[in-house]
Structure 1
Amino acid sequence: MRHDGAAGAGRHAYVTLVTNADYALGARALLRSLRLAGTQADLVVMHTGGVDTAALGPLQGFGARLVAVDLLPTSDAFNERHGRARLHGAAPFTKGGKPPFHTPLDNFAKLRLWQMTEYEKVVFLDADTLVLRNCDRLFAYPEFSAAPNVYEGLSDFHRMNSGVFVARPDAATFDAMMQALDRPDAFWPRTDQTFLQAFFPDWHGLPVFCNMLQYVWFNMPALWNWQQVRIVHYQYEKPWQDHDKADRLRPLIDLWRAYAGDGPVPDLDDLPGPQPSDPNTSDPQPSGAP
């Protein structure tokens, strides 16, 4: 792990992962949102070899530490099972579309944050999230804390979502993860998310408002409350893409674009709320879990 810049005096950090230029675009909006929320914690961007210097440059303007990381040294058989075509064929995403730049195997690089032992506690945030209010209180949560993967109904509460989680870096934990991850015939259908829930079966629950998945907007509108939402997570389709749900998610996309730019961001009190979906026109929801 190669650090570009020294660690700050603090013992807490928000960490994200950038594996290509698209996620660098998302990370810029995320970092700006963290700065606007007034955090005093370090901001850290782990980046892999798939990201060039030009894409990373804008991230340094927010005072982020850039930490170059390698993909995990997993076996050829493991890599084959978790390649995009093989994984999506065996465990298809049926409720939304994964963008073409999504490479499932890269997700496991998140585990590198357990090697960042210069920090006492870290909050991991996917690069497709926005922080709308100060979330520094998350550092008081224990390892391993994550919000449930809620975006459709009550049955979602038994699964956690790894787009936002609280962890305590520790070399021994990282070593134990490496032993558990690449077992013979191991298959993690939702990559790091499935693995982390198995590794931390007694995970602690964060409020859903600390990882509000964008599909809640049209699937569970009664749950959406701008006064409570702290982190929005653009699961599946990304707000910088053209996609078939863009019209339904327009207020959330416009919000992301405001943070991705350099101008003012809207007051949350002025944002419109979601409208209940028309059951006669809403998208069908076949089985399958992200």
Structure 2
Amino acid sequence: MHYSPCFHFLLPCLVYSFAVAFLTLRATFVNSWIRDSAATHYISFLEIDWDQISKIVEKLTDRNEYQGIGLLNFNDSEIDQWKQLIPDAEHVILHLDYVSNNITWEALYPEWIDEEEEFEVPTCPSLPKLKVPGKPRIDLVAVKLPCNKSESWSRDVARFHLQLEAARIAASSKGYHPVRVLILTDCFPIPNLFICKELLIREGNVWLFQPNLNTLRNKLQLPIGSCELAVPLKAKGQFETKCMMLVDVILRLELEEESEKWGGRGGGATIRSLALLSLVNICWSKNFYSERAHREAYATILHSAHIYVCGAIAAAQSIRMAGSTRDLVILVDETITEYHRGGLEAAGWKIHTIQRIRNPKAEKDAYNEWNYSKFRLWQLTDYDKIIFIDADLLILRNIDFLFEMPEITATGNNATLFNSGVMVVEPSNCTFQLLMDHINEFVSYNGGDQGYLNEVFTWWHRIPRHMNFLKHFWEGDEEEKKEMKTRLFGADPSILYVLHYLGNKPWLCFRDYDCNWNVDILQEFASDVAHKRWWKVHDAMPGNLQKFCLLRSKQKAALEWDRRQAEKGNYTDGHWKIKIKDKRLKTCFEDFCFWESMLWHWGETNWTDNATVALAPPAITTRSLSSL
């Protein structure tokens, strides 16, 4: 009789068989678990109110003409409901592969990328694209989104992925028929992808949009995150690229002309003249950047801080010196006096008086108590686009090309965040209302408007830091890095587009040197070269505007106090030894001018500044800066 080998070893064989089966099952389970763990992020536990959807569908007068409805992230029973709701249309089930767990929000929005491409070319992670069977016409894209409010739902990669692909399907539509996007979510959709001005109907957690497909296509051509530059450092916009190409041609002709001098040939100068004429016609014509120029403006804001008036005047001066003729709009509150408003108007700012918006999470009289007033920018609906700029920066090169960019376009700050010191905004009353509606919900990481805006606009577009270059030497900067920054601060013609002055502001220092040197914790912001750069712009201002940069007596005392502390500490930079020649030291425009006496009690907690400021509106000659 033939026996199986397992007959004598029945128990070991059974154990072996069970072990193989278990390991096979375990491997299958693990693979499934890995796959399904990514899928769980896409699951929406939203209970659909079909009555709400039915009400919306009934309002679509052209629904009987719908040929196709794309359904994304719905389960089988929900798909059946859709088929009953609009039975005559083709229901296209959209299959989307999930993003792997290793693609995090930090991968899409890294803190740093190699903008200059010195070591690598920055690239964004690849997100799976929707698979659409055949080429059906889709009139309505419906998507169901997760919204886990226990986590940072606005930075949920799965949620972002679903919205991005829903937008792509809509944007891929051919022909002239409108495409609607219906989003089911308890959390508001990405506000600068599906914009509120294009919201047709909202019923509870059902949002129906009819996007401008051309605008949507342009947005979707941008990198998916800040992992790549939206505006390459070497090509700033379509029009400037044309200018750069012409400049390159002219430079080559210059070289050819030099060689022609030796070769006996002529004609180079004539060709160069024609090229120069073309450059002027293209680069400096009224229509150079945009036919929408009258609907675009630079904007800044002053609230509770008249000390920034001088900075705003200098910023206006720098914009005109850089060649921009766009409108300048400034938001001010009631604390900005008529005297200061006169100076701002003379500098070219169009003044809009606003009511301040209190930060509900700020303490009374804190520095950030009223900084949510920046939300008023979205109420400037006379304009389609504005470039917001802080009042403590200079525009060194024309940045009008940024008007071609969508909301929100900005430089990186830290972590996954953008710096709101320079940003492109698209005014809209409904966006303003969105910001106000969630004012108590979101927690700002820094207690200010920048932190809040970063919670609302998590989808933003990175521009090179040269367009908002911070006057700051990081603690870890090597000497070579510091020298490079210093060269950038002083380069003429400028390499930087925008120089942003952190720490003590130049107009609040004596012009002789950067007063940040005299305060230990502010030395990281100190640069005499950048300081000199600001004063060069100041000196180009009309004399009647320079008066708004005079120093108050109290500020002179503060500067002297800091200088004495630096002397006492024997600061090695030695700036405290420099004799002040700034004429503003001996110029007084207040009733109280004996600032030295303030130092007798400086630093005492029970001492108050009783000096009063009696300012009469100066004789200001309103003068356009466009000619400067």
Name the structure with the higher strand share. Answer: 1
Report the secondary structure of 1:166's partner residue.
Answer: strand
Name the structure with the higher helix share. Answer: 2
Deviations 1:89-121 (A, max 9, x none): xxxxxxxxxxxxxx3223221110101111000
CA drift of 1:160 comes to 1.6
The answer to whether the Cα contact below 8 Å between 2:362 and 2:368 also exists between their aligned partners in 1 is no
Report the secondary structure of 1:45's partner residue.
Answer: strand
Match of residue 191 from structure 1: 448
Match of residue 531 from structure 2: 253
Letter of the 1:165 partner, please give it. M
Q: Does 1:128 align with 2:392?
A: yes
Q: Does 1:36 align with 2:321?
A: yes
Q: Residues of 1 paired with 2:507 and 2:474: CA distance?
A: 18
Match of residue 236 from structure 1: 503
Q: Residues of 2 paired with 1:241 and 1:178: CA distance?
A: 34
Deviations 1:194-219 (A, max 9, x none): 11111111111111011000004994
CA drift of 1:261 comes to 3.0
Q: Does 1:201 align with 2:479?
A: no
The answer to whether the Cα contact below 8 Å between 2:407 and 2:426 also exists between their aligned partners in 1 is yes
Q: Does 1:16 align with 2:300?
A: yes
Among candidates 341, 345, 348, match of residue 63 of structure 1: 348
The answer to whether the Cα contact below 8 Å between 2:359 and 2:370 also exists between their aligned partners in 1 is no
Instruction: Return the structure number with greater relative CO, CA threshold 8 A, min gap 6.
Output: 1
The answer to whether the Cα contact below 8 Å between 2:444 and 2:450 also exists between their aligned partners in 1 is no
CA drift of 1:263 comes to 5.7
In structure 2, relative to structure 1, the CA distance for the partners of 1:261 and 1:70 (3 Å cut) is: farther
In structure 2, relative to structure 1, the CA distance for the partners of 1:117 and 1:238 (3 Å cut) is: same
Letter of the 1:171 partner, please give it. N
The answer to whether the Cα contact below 8 Å between 2:358 and 2:373 also exists between their aligned partners in 1 is no
In structure 2, relative to structure 1, the CA distance for the partners of 1:51 and 1:188 (3 Å cut) is: farther
The answer to whether the Cα contact below 8 Å between 1:35 and 1:62 also exists between their aligned partners in 2 is no
Report the secondary structure of 2:508's partner residue.
Answer: coil
TM-score by length of 1: 0.72
Letter of the 1:244 partner, please give it. N
Q: Residues of 1 paired with 2:473 and 2:415: CA distance?
A: 13
CA drift of 1:135 comes to 0.8
Gap regions ≥5 residues in structure 2: 1-291, 510-514, 543-571, 574-628
Q: Residues of 2 paired with 1:187 and 1:198: CA distance?
A: 7
Letter of the 1:198 partner, please give it. E
CA drift of 1:245 comes to 2.9
Q: Residues of 2 paired with 1:65 and 1:127: CA distance?
A: 15
Aligned residues: 231
Report the secondary structure of 1:172's partner residue.
Answer: helix
CA drift of 1:179 comes to 1.2
Q: Residues of 2 paired with 1:188 and 1:179: CA distance?
A: 19
In structure 2, relative to structure 1, the CA distance for the partners of 1:158 and 1:216 (3 Å cut) is: farther
Letter of the 1:233 partner, please give it. H
CA drift of 1:244 comes to 3.2
Runs of 4+ in 1 over 6 A off after TM superposition: none
Letter of the 2:506 partner, please give it. P
Q: Residues of 1 paired with 2:325 and 2:473: CA distance?
A: 30
Gap regions ≥5 residues in structure 1: 1-7, 85-102, 150-155, 265-280, 283-290
Aligned positions of 1:161-172 closer than 5 A: 161-172=419-430
Deviations 1:134-172 (A, max 9, x none): 1100111110111112xxxxxx36332111100100111
The answer to whether the Cα contact below 8 Å between 2:329 and 2:352 also exists between their aligned partners in 1 is yes
Larger Rg: 2
Match of residue 287 from structure 1: none
Match of residue 145 from structure 1: 409
Q: Residues of 2 paired with 1:189 and 1:121: CA distance?
A: 26
The answer to whether the Cα contact below 8 Å between 1:217 and 1:249 also exists between their aligned partners in 2 is no
Match of residue 436 from structure 2: 178
CA drift of 1:40 comes to 2.1
The answer to whether the Cα contact below 8 Å between 1:117 and 1:171 also exists between their aligned partners in 2 is yes
Q: Residues of 2 paired with 1:187 and 1:83: CA distance?
A: 18
Q: Residues of 2 paired with 1:235 and 1:122: CA distance?
A: 23
In structure 2, relative to structure 1, the CA distance for the partners of 1:33 and 1:217 (3 Å cut) is: farther
In structure 2, relative to structure 1, the CA distance for the partners of 1:160 and 1:245 (3 Å cut) is: farther
Q: Residues of 2 paired with 1:133 and 1:47: CA distance?
A: 26
TM-score by length of 2: 0.34
Aligned positions of 1:43-122 closer than 5 A: 43-72=328-357, 75=360, 78-80=361-363, 83-84=365-366, 103-122=367-386
In structure 2, relative to structure 1, the CA distance for the partners of 1:263 and 1:200 (3 Å cut) is: closer
Report the secondary structure of 2:424's partner residue.
Answer: strand
Q: Residues of 2 paired with 1:211 and 1:114: CA distance?
A: 21
Which range moved further: 157-166 or 167-176?
157-166
Letter of the 1:135 partner, please give it. I
